[in-house]
Structure 1
Amino acid sequence: MFVENIMTREVLHVGPEASFSQVSEIMRLKKVRHVPVIDQDRKVLGIISHRDVQRAQPSMITTLDVGEVKYLLSKITAADIMHKSVVSCSPRTQIEEAARMMRPKKLGCLVVVDDAGRLVGIVTSVDLLDFFLDITGCWVEGATRITVKLQDRAGQLAALLASVNAQGGYIVSVVSPRTPQSEGLRTATIRFEAKDAGAVVQGLREAGYELSVDQTA
């Protein structure tokens, strides 16, 4: 699946000449934490985060009076506080790759641009979290979640899924990553629906699977 499937397309943005107060109001009223800065051709010039706005505000212990503070803030523009080094991706970037781009630098978002560098969307860490919840079946009410240890050999996962189906379970989601630390074993976390989840679990145990029932939604 690609970034274009989860990104926000209607992105709130500003021009480089936007005032500090305009940027601050957009973030406050629209409850967003990142605002791209674009030119007239929608090409991305930079990005402003909620932290950038906080850093630009005067300290609470400032000796300036209210009038002086307002005057200084009126001189600050989006171009003054934006990050010019913007990490971006294309709409056809795989979601996993987008996450790999964000995680090492602890980025809260990626700007999504077309081949000409024009803004077409934004993908945030919240979007990635929602995607993770979707693919793990967390939103499916009534599903039973089991965790099974398997030998890391071809056919083991397929056999487990076939056994779940044979016992009357309908697979909702499967997560079974293979990691360098697996040491010959891998963990399969499966969510399934069934009229009698207990009977499915019992049938799997009788078939020789060691499993734990972690959660029944």
Structure 2
Amino acid sequence: MLVEEIMKKEVITLTPNETIETALHLLNQHHIRHIPIVDQDHNVIGIVSDRDVRDASPSTFETKSQAEELTNPIESIMTSPVTTVHPLDFAEEVASIFYEQEIACVPVTRNNKLVGIITEKDMLYTLIQLTGTNVQSSQIEVKVINKPGILPQVTQVFGKRKVNISSVLIYPYKPDPKYKIIVVRIQTMNPLPTIEDLKSEGYEVLWPQMPGMES
């Protein structure tokens, strides 16, 4: 799935000379947590979060200084430089950026121009879609030898039942690197016939372990 398929195209922005008070108003008005800061050519030069604005805002008990602090320019608290992604990047790659850099939002740019934004909430929903957990389905985990061509062999078994596959994930089998786990979500609430087919073909089904069908 590409970034351009999941990004928000309508983005609230500010220029660097606008005030912290303006940012605070926009964050509250639009119920957002991040605002990209752009120059006159719409290039991203910084970003501010609701936490940045909150930390920069005076305490409610400091009424004398409150007005002055809120009139400071937003560039005084923005984060710069900014990590950005391209519309044609893969969503899975963006997820690793969120994790590795411990950030909650990335602007999307094309030719250095802001064209969209992705938040951690967008990313989480996308991962839900990619794993197929947003539709009624059953999950089957199969332990297989880690060798080329094993995936089509396993999915061929699913094809015999003509069940619709929602998603397929593959991850290592930690106890033994000679094996891996294939996780298949199928659109049926009764996976038992498919499990029986897999077992009859010699595959070890780790999940679900149906009563009376332990490996």
Is the TM value for this pair above 0.5? yes
CA gap of 1:188–1:19, structure 2 versus 1, over 3 A, is: same
Would you say the 8 A contact 2:141–2:183 is kept in 1?
yes
| Match status 1:207 vs 2:186 | no
Instruction: Note if 1:190 corresponds to 2:177.
Output: no
Instruction: Tell me what 1:114 maps to.
Output: 110
1:34 aligns with 2:28: no
State the 1:182 CA deviation: 5.5
Quick check: 37-46 or 95-104, which moved more? Answer: 95-104
Q: How far apart are the structure 1 equivalents of 2:197 and 2:175?
A: 30
Q: C-alpha root-mean-square deviation of aligned residues, in Å?
A: 2.2
CA distance in 1, matches of 2:175, 2:96: 19
Pairs within 5 Å for 1:53-202:
53-59=53-59, 64=62, 66=63, 68-115=64-111, 117-141=112-136, 143-177=137-171, 183-194=177-188, 196-202=190-196
After superposition, give the CA deviation of every residue in 1:85-136 in whole Å (9 maximum; x if it has no partner).
1111222222233223332210111111121x22111112222211111111
Q: Is residue 21 of structure 2 the alignment partner of residue 25 of structure 1?
A: no
Pair 1:4–1:182, CA change in 2 (3 A): farther
TM-score (norm 2): 0.87
TM-score, reference length from structure 1: 0.86
In structure 2, the gaps of 5 or more residues are 210-215
Runs of 4+ with deviation above 3 angstroms: 177-182
Query: Residue 7 of structure 1 corresponds to which residue in structure 2?
Result: 7
Instruction: Give the CA deviation at 1:84.
Output: 2.0
Number of residue pairs aligned between Structure 1 and Structure 2: 208
Calculate percent identity across the aligned residue pairs: 27
